[in-house]
Amino acid sequence: MESRVLLRTFCLIFGLGAVWGLGVDPSLQIDVLTELELGESTTGVRQVPGLHNGTKAFLFQDTPRSIKASTATAEQFFQKLRNKHEFTILVTLKQTHLNSGVILSIHHLDHRYLELESSGHRNEVRLHYRSGSHRPHTEVFPYILADDKWHKLSLAISASHLILHIDCNKIYERVVEKPSTDLPLGTTFWLGQRNNAHGYFKGIMQDVQLLVMPQGFIAQCPDLNRTCPTCNDFHGLVQKIMELQDILAKTSAKLSRAEQRMNRLDQCYCERTCTMKGTTYREFESWIDGCKNCTCLNGTIQCETLICPNPDCPLKSALAY
pLDDT computed for residue 307 by the predictor: 80
Q: For residues 59 and 125, give the distance between their C-alpha atoms in angstroms, rounded to a whole number.
A: 20
d(C-alpha 305, C-alpha 321), whole Å: 18
Task: Write down the pTM of the prediction.
Answer: 0.64
Question: Would you place residue 21 in the very low, low, confident or very high pLDDT band (cuts 50, 70, 90)?
Answer: very low
Per domain, the residue ranges of the chain are 2-234, 274-305
Bridge partners, 46 (sequence order)? 59
pLDDT tens string 165-208 = 999 999 999 999 999 999 999 999 999 999 999 999 999 999 99
* Rounded Cα–Cα distance for residues 79 and 108 (Å): 15
Indicate the fold that domain 274-305 takes in CATH. Complement Module; domain 1 (2.10.70)
pLDDT band for position 22 (cuts 50, 70, 90):
very low
CATH architecture assigned to 2-234: Sandwich (2.60)
Q: Indicate if the pLDDT at residue 9 is higher than 50.
A: no
Per residue in 250-279, is it b (16+ CB within 10 Å) or e — as a string?
eeeeeeeeeeeeeeeeeeeeeeeebeeeee
Task: Report the candidate in 172, 167, 84 with the shortest Cα–Cα distance to residue 125.
Answer: 172
Query: How confident is the model over 221-274, as pLDDT tens digits?
Result: 988 765 566 666 677 778 888 888 889 988 998 998 888 888 877 777 777 899
